[in-house]
Amino acid sequence: MALQLFARGSRSLINPRTTAGAQFKSTLSLGTPSATGVLQGQAGRLCSTASTGGLWRGTSTSSSSSSPRSRAVCLGRIAVGAALGVGTAVLFQSFHSGSMTAMAFTLDLDSATGDWEKTKDHLLSLSVKDRRQKYRTPSFVPLEDVEVWTPTAGGSKPSYYDRNEKLDQKICVYSGDITKLEIDAIVNAANNSLLGGGGVDGAIHRAAGPLLKKECSSLHGCETGQAKITCGYGLPAKYVIHTVGPIAQGGVGKAEQTALRSCYRNSLIAATDNAARSVAFPCISTGIYGYPPEQAVHQALATVREYLDEHHDKLDRVIFCVFLPKDKELYLQNLPLYFPGPPAETTVRSKL
């Protein structure tokens, strides 16, 4: 027999002491006995947990919370949450935080009129599996499908850095669309306004949806060499780290070198500060900003190498995302200079 749960109420359903708020209706149909059992079981466990403390703001934490009436109210709230598509994990988190605002929240990643703060909070609370239902990209590339670059033994050129075995399996060179990477964070080669532009900047904004621009507008721009982090919204990436590279059309001097290295380092800091363990970089400043790719690759690799030496335990993967074949070749040629492999095996022959 299908279980039909009907709820009608206002904010008073979320907090019995509050009467203001718009009313809503929800109907939950669970057509199988197994589904009904799951809901009842989850609800029972959640409500049992609830009896040890107040679930909602303003509710009492006295022993009356385990009364039949309060248990029925609890079950009703769970039913409403389930009807609105709120997962058990979100419900449980809401119980402990004292808020059920997520229950009445409608996610719309295609509208510029949405509340970016609520959307961000909601998306960041979801598991990867649940977020996949929200992607605006037609396809995505999970991290396990990105091939790891492995240093070869006995490089032909002397390396700039000593070998660090802890950094093996941490570097990737990926040829493809950075907006499709399902990782913790992708880096956006942005302009100072952070409001979108051409190239990779425009591609990221288009794929993420209009709420990315709304959050970016709250950041009031970004200085060259700095980095600021936002939600990824409709992207498979959880976060977008926006950094502004130097303009080098008049030549590359010490200021441009320092600024470019700052882009990479500050982006890595933003990633680790937000517990992002995988991050992908585009080729920063090598497009219309005019930084020669054959020089930029050295600033990128040196900065990433030095940061990983200090914080190898905080990052699992750094991906260099390239678009042009010549950029891929530049990274593959120069990676051994910064991430050398083991020495070549030598064979000792005895003289007869």
- The pLDDT value recorded for residue 77 is 53
User: 182 and 300: one domain?
Assistant: yes
> How many residues does this entry show for the chain?
352
Collect all residues with Cβ–Cβ distance below 8 Å to 264 and sequence separation of at least 6: 243, 281, 284, 299, 300, 303, 304, 307
Domain boundary among the residues 99, 122, 154 is at: 99
Whether the Cβ atoms of residue 277 and residue 314 lie closer than 8 Å to each other: yes
User: 95 and 205: one domain?
Assistant: no
- The pLDDT value recorded for residue 152 is 85
Structural domains of the chain, count: 2
Whether the Cβ atoms of residue 272 and residue 178 lie closer than 8 Å to each other: no
Whether the Cβ atoms of residue 206 and residue 152 lie closer than 8 Å to each other: no
Q: Residue 227 in 3-state DSSP?
A: strand
- The pLDDT value recorded for residue 190 is 98
Answer yes or no: is 114 within a domain: no
Residue 324: domain span: 141-338
Answer yes or no: is 352 within a domain: no
Whole-angstrom distance, CA of residue 352 vs CA of residue 252 = 59
Whether the Cβ atoms of residue 232 and residue 276 lie closer than 8 Å to each other: no
Answer yes or no: is 64 within a domain: yes
User: 193 and 305: one domain?
Assistant: yes
User: 67 and 187: one domain?
Assistant: no
CA pseudo-torsion sign 117, 120, 126, 132 = positive
Alpha carbon 40 to its chain centroid, in Å, reads 33
Helix (H) or strand (E) holding 281: strand 278-281
Answer yes or no: is 112 within a domain: no
User: 166 and 256: one domain?
Assistant: yes
Two tokens at 218? 């709250």
Whole-angstrom distance, CA of residue 196 vs CA of residue 177 = 17
Q: Which of 72, 73, 99, 68 is nearest to 86 (CA)?
A: 99
User: 95 and 145: one domain?
Assistant: no
Answer yes or no: is 259 within a domain: yes
User: 319 and 244: one domain?
Assistant: yes
Whether the Cβ atoms of residue 279 and residue 268 lie closer than 8 Å to each other: yes
Q: What is the pTM of this model?
A: 0.72
**DSSP per-residue string spanning 103-114:** GG----TT-TTS
Collect all residues with Cβ–Cβ distance below 8 Å to 174 and sequence separation of at least 6: 146, 147, 181, 280, 319, 320, 321, 322
Collect all residues with Cβ–Cβ distance below 8 Å to 45 and sequence separation of at least 6: none
130 CB burial (10 A radius; 0-12, 13-18, 19+): middle
Tokens 């040890």 -> residue: 52
User: 37 and 183: one domain?
Assistant: no
User: 61 and 160: one domain?
Assistant: no
Domain boundary among the residues 99, 126, 157 is at: 99
User: 95 and 197: one domain?
Assistant: no
User: 42 and 181: one domain?
Assistant: no
Residue numbers of the chain with a pLDDT score lower than 70: 1-105, 155-156, 345-352
Answer yes or no: is 33 within a domain: yes
Answer yes or no: is 119 within a domain: no
Alpha carbon 51 to its chain centroid, in Å, reads 35
User: 299 and 214: one domain?
Assistant: yes
Whole-angstrom distance, CA of residue 231 vs CA of residue 77 = 29
Answer yes or no: is 133 within a domain: no
Whole-angstrom distance, CA of residue 283 vs CA of residue 245 = 10
CATH of the domain at 245: 3.40.220.10
Q: What is the pLDDT of residues 57-87, one digit of tens each?
A: 333 344 444 455 555 555 555 554 544 444 5
